[in-house]
A and B are shown apart, each in its own frame.
Chain A
Amino acid sequence: MRIYQITAWRGGMFALALVFAAHSTAVAQWLSLPLPGTPRTADGKPNLSAPAPRTADGKPDHSGIWRLNTSRHNPNANLLPKGTEAPMLPWAAELYKRRVATHGYDRPMTVCLPHGVPDGLTSPYGFKLVQTPNLVVHLYEEFTMHRQIHTDGRPLPVDPNPQYYGYSIGRWEGETLVVETAGFKEGSWLDNDGHPHTEALRTTERFRRINFGSMEVDVTIDDPKAYSRPWTAETMRLVLQPDTELLEHLCENNRDLERLQQIWQDRQPAAPPTTGRQ
Chain B
Amino acid sequence: MKARLAILMCIAAIAASGRALAHHSFAAEFDENKPVKLTGTVTKVEWTNPHIWFFMDVKNPDGTVSNWGLEMASPNNLLRAGWKRDSMKVGDVVTVEARQARDGSHNANAQTVMLTSTGQRLFAGSPVQPAQ
Contacts and interface: CB of A to CB of B under 8 A. Distances in A.
Interface in A1-59: 4-6, 8-13, 15-16, 19-20, 22-23, 26-30
Contacts of A251: 23, 49-50
Given A103-B27, A255-B71, 4 more contacts: A104-B27, A255-B51, A255-B69, A257-B24
Contacts of B75: 247
A16 B71 contact: no
Give the size range of B's interface with the partner.
Answer: 35 or more
Contact of A263 (B6, B29, B79, B80): B29
A262 interface: yes
Q: 9 tightest CB-CB pairs across the interface, nearest first?
A: A12-B6, A105-B28, A8-B3, A71-B20, A253-B48, A103-B28, A22-B129, A30-B80, A73-B19
Interface string A240-270: 0000100111111111110110111000000
A27 B80 contact: yes
Interface string A116-133: 000000001100000000
B20 A112 contact: no
A19 B20 contact: no
Interface residues of A, number: 54
Contacts of B102: 263
Contact of A249 (B29, B50, B81): B50
